[in-house]
Chain A
Amino acid sequence: MTIHRVLPVGRTAILLEVGSSDDAQALYLHLERLRATGELRGVLDLVPGARTVLVDGDPELPGLAWWDELRRTWRPPPARELATPVVEIPVWYDGPDLPEVARLTGLSIPEVIAAHTSVELRVAFCGFAPGFAYLTGLPDALRVPRRDTPRTAVPAGSVALAGGYTAVYPRRSPGGWRLIGRTAMRMWDPDREPPALLTPGTRVRFVPESTEAHPEAGTPEVNP
């Protein structure tokens, strides 16, 4: 059984619990396709999480019996669907936390950069801010905790690590992740459809831009 539980959330939402982030992404994409064919009446939002997909709807949302049927029948696709192109994100690895990440992981700075650029990542889910995508698939060596004290302002485009995820801050905001670099690519553009560059399920690869500093970079804003 690959959908572990079907949990009603209030009167008009259902939370589907699965066993892994890969299954959550696959189930989310499956439900998006069903919705595109008009099969999921009453659904207002499909929200993937780390181990779940939330189906947030209105009173027309299919009842529990429908979801139980899905639980019985749905299986994640055997092979990853690789039809979607990979989004390459060029990064200047000059983040203020890069030395600290090297210390925490026991790697050298070039090894941290090599590890971050060595793998293909995938958007597990978005949250925190519009266009903020939690990317999974990092090597275990790059699993670092959040900072003890969050920064009050992290610049837009900052590339960061925390809790086994990596992400790019779409706009200037407070943040507690460890900053290892920055990109000039726009994560969020209200005039683009979809406005987020990284939507759930998107494949991503970070590419080292250069070892020199970001040409437009001033001193990164660091707050106590």
Chain B
Amino acid sequence: MTTDAHTTHTREDEAACVEVIQAGALTTIQDAGRPGYAHLGVPRSGAADLASLRLANRLVGNPADTAALETTMLGMTVRPRTGRWWAVTGAPCQVRVADRVVSCDQPIYVPAGAVLRVGPAVEGVRTYLAVSGGIAVPAVFGSRATDTLSGIGPPPVRDGDVLPLGTAAAPPSTVDVVPRPAWPQRPQIRLRLCLRTDWFTAASVARLAAASYQVTAHSDRVGVRLAGPALERTVHEELPSEGMVLGAVQVPPDGQPVILLADHPTTGGYPVVGVVEPDDLWLVAQARPGTEVQFRLIR
């Protein structure tokens, strides 16, 4: 920093903010994303596990779609410079405030200067840290979400970043701890057939229901790539590019399905065999490489 460091420091202290000590693997700011620009090629983006983002926001008294932090596998460590309520949801992990262990899925008050450590995910992939008032970086096309495909929105969070906080609007939730069902070990994912199912042989659609598919390491916020019995096509011509939706299961020529997540491209040229039910998308977003998933087909 070449400018007067003292002045800068004072200004930051006046405004509510949080300092990132360790950003973890891929930590991004996410909200409900930016619908309305897909016709220009702008992905919707937003939290991969939207239900967890919304739970975290409700716990701290925010509107459900307020911007929060989404971590990937390794968690993160922050030091708020302003005392605020926080909540940690999504992939379960150990959470400590100034070396005291606290629970996930409940409002936690973190005083100014205390360190909030969110450990590596014990299960699942993405942990959410919401703070009362939200992460108040400037919105781009109506959203503060980082879009990893197009680069729209704030850059991924780095060590040493100081992130502004918004004004806390409401007191935290009075629910102590949200009861959570056991983390699914072998997720069952409902898949609504419809779109281009007729581009695939009946036998391979039947196998899609009978077999399990393994989540591969080539999975990210754009899509979760699966490995399992290949889907065979009945139509071999190229599919003219068409609009893609969140949760679409695209099948490239190798027959291995890809489930599109939040940062998916707006159009694509591979046929879609079906679409994951919205309520089951979090299971996909939270499935680690190696996880066996099973599809339950809805016709």
A residues sitting closer than 8 Å to B (CB atoms) are 7-13, 15, 28, 44-54, 56, 125-134, 190, 194-196, 199-200
Are A9 and B272 in contact, with the CB atoms below 8 A? yes
Interface residues on B, range: 20 to 34
Q: Which residues of A contact B272 (CB under 8 A)?
A: 9
Q: B39 at interface (Cβ–Cβ under 8 A)?
A: yes
Q: B58 at interface (Cβ–Cβ under 8 A)?
A: no
**CB proximity of A171 to chain B, nearest CB, Å:** 8
**CB proximity of A83 to chain B, nearest CB, Å:** 19
B277's nearest neighbour on chain A, judged by CB, is A11
Are B278 and A11 in contact, with the CB atoms below 8 A? yes
Are B242 and A56 in contact, with the CB atoms below 8 A? no
**CB proximity of A36 to chain B, nearest CB, Å:** 13
Contact among B37, B195, B265 for A7, CB-based, below 8 A: B195
Q: B93 at interface (Cβ–Cβ under 8 A)?
A: no
Cα distance A46–B243 when bound, in Å?
9
B residues sitting closer than 8 Å to A (CB atoms) are 35-42, 44, 140-141, 150, 152, 192, 194-195, 240-245, 247-248, 265-268, 272, 274-278
B191's nearest neighbour on chain A, judged by CB, is A10
Are B267 and A47 in contact, with the CB atoms below 8 A? yes
Are B192 and A11 in contact, with the CB atoms below 8 A? yes
Q: Which residues of B contact A10 (CB under 8 A)?
A: 192, 194, 245, 247-248, 274-278
Q: Which residues of B contact A54 (CB under 8 A)?
A: 242-245
Are A127 and B278 in contact, with the CB atoms below 8 A? no
Are A9 and B152 in contact, with the CB atoms below 8 A? no
Contact among B40, B240, B277 for A126, CB-based, below 8 A: B40
A134's nearest neighbour on chain B, judged by CB, is B241
20 residue pairs bridging A and B, Cβ less than 8 Å apart:
A9-B275, A11-B192, A11-B275, A12-B278, A13-B275, A15-B243, A45-B35, A45-B37, A46-B38, A46-B39, A47-B244, A51-B242, A54-B244, A56-B38, A128-B265, A130-B42, A190-B140, A190-B141, A194-B40, A195-B40
**Given A10-B278, A56-B245, does the pair A45, B195 have CB atoms closer than 8 Å?**
no
Cα distance A28–B40 when bound, in Å?
13
Are B247 and A47 in contact, with the CB atoms below 8 A? no
**CB proximity of A182 to chain B, nearest CB, Å:** 20
**Given A11-B192, A15-B195, A52-B243, does the pair A47, B39 have CB atoms closer than 8 Å?**
yes
Q: Which residues of B contact A130 (CB under 8 A)?
A: 37, 40-42, 150, 152
Are A127 and B241 in contact, with the CB atoms below 8 A? yes
Q: Which residues of A contact B267 (CB under 8 A)?
A: 47, 49, 125-128
Are A127 and B41 in contact, with the CB atoms below 8 A? yes
Are B194 and A9 in contact, with the CB atoms below 8 A? yes
B247's nearest neighbour on chain A, judged by CB, is A10
Q: Which residues of A contact B37 (CB under 8 A)?
A: 45, 130, 195
Are B242 and A50 in contact, with the CB atoms below 8 A? yes
Are A9 and B278 in contact, with the CB atoms below 8 A? no
5 more A-B residue pairs beyond the given contacts A12-B278, A50-B240, with a C-beta to C-beta distance below 8 A:
A10-B194, A10-B245, A11-B277, A53-B243, A190-B140
Cα distance A128–B222 when bound, in Å?
13
Are A199 and B40 in contact, with the CB atoms below 8 A? yes
Q: Which residues of A contact B44 (CB under 8 A)?
A: 45
Cα distance A130–B40 when bound, in Å?
6
**CB proximity of B90 to chain A, nearest CB, Å:** 23
**CB proximity of B286 to chain A, nearest CB, Å:** 19
**Given A44-B35, A46-B39, A49-B267, does the pair A9, B245 have CB atoms closer than 8 Å?**
yes
Cα distance A131–B265 when bound, in Å?
12
Cα distance A129–B41 when bound, in Å?
5
A198's nearest neighbour on chain B, judged by CB, is B40
Q: Which residues of B contact A50 (CB under 8 A)?
A: 240-242
Cα distance A130–B42 when bound, in Å?
5
